[in-house]
Amino acid sequence: MMTTRRMILAASALLVPSALLPAGPARAADPDSASAFVDQMLRDLLAIANGSQPQQAKRAALSKIVEERVDVDGVARFCLGRFWRSASPKQLAEYTQLFRRVLVKNISDKVGEYQGVTYTLGRAARREGDILVSSVVTRPGNAPNKVDWIVEAEGPPKVIDLIAEGTSLRLTQRSDYAAYLARNNNNVQALIDALRQQASAA
């Protein structure tokens, strides 16, 4: 069975997690603007988590943040890896839609775990064409976690990866997908069917 445990773990560090603010007109073209982008995103996430609105409203607000501030389509393509080239256009469209639904569901369903979280931003620096913004995230009753946010350096700022304690969210997910496909004759449709089950799970 395909798992998303690491996706949920990284998200529970604060986000997604990962992760992923109305973005506004700013462009994450330099480390300072990328750092400001991440800072505002985390402020908004915590404001939602610690707010007084009903859980359903909180989940909807978190979903909006993921949709607007994470490059979900880009992450979906990365996670499918080499199988992106072998899938049909119909399969790619369905896979991307389901990937989005599963990611948003996994993050928004964990809204209660973000309450009381604090963070400290570290340095931001260019990294392989993108920008890495470091942070330390602390959940009540847990040891601090080192979380790095990878932000696109071109175009509107969006999170493209989250590295929790040295583990890349999207690399881990791609590895999980590849392992699942290997057990299912490299059949992309089998992965799509599994994602559909995850998306519809209560």
pLDDT confidence of residue 21? 31
For residue 2, is pLDDT > 50?
Answer: no
Q: pTM of the full predicted structure?
A: 0.81
pLDDT tens figures, 86-137: 999 999 999 999 999 999 888 888 777 788 899 999 999 998 889 999 999 9
The fourth-level CATH superfamily of domain 5-200 is Tgt2/MlaC (3.10.450.710)
Gap between the Cα atoms of 140 and 116, Å rounded: 6
Q: In a 10 Å sphere around its CB, with 0-12 CB exposed, 13-18 middle and 19+ buried, how is residue 14 labelled? A: buried
Q: How confident is the model at residue 9 (pLDDT cuts 50, 70, 90)?
A: very low
Q: Which of 23-27, 77-81, 109-113 has the lowest mean pLDDT?
A: 23-27
Gap between the Cα atoms of 77 and 161, Å rounded: 13
Question: Which residues, other chains included, contact 143 with Cβ-Cβ below 8 Å and sequence gap of 6+?
Answer: none
8-state DSSP, 114: G
Residue 61 has phi, psi (to 5 degrees) of -70, -40
- What is the pairing mode between strands 167-168 and 159-164? antiparallel
Token pair listed for 202: 């209560």
Mean pLDDT of 161-187: 95
Task: Please give the share of the chain, as a percent, with pLDDT higher than 70.
Answer: 85
pLDDT confidence of residue 10? 43
- With beta carbons less than 8 A apart as the criterion, state whether 138 and 119 touch: yes
Q: Where are the domains of the chain?
A: 5-200
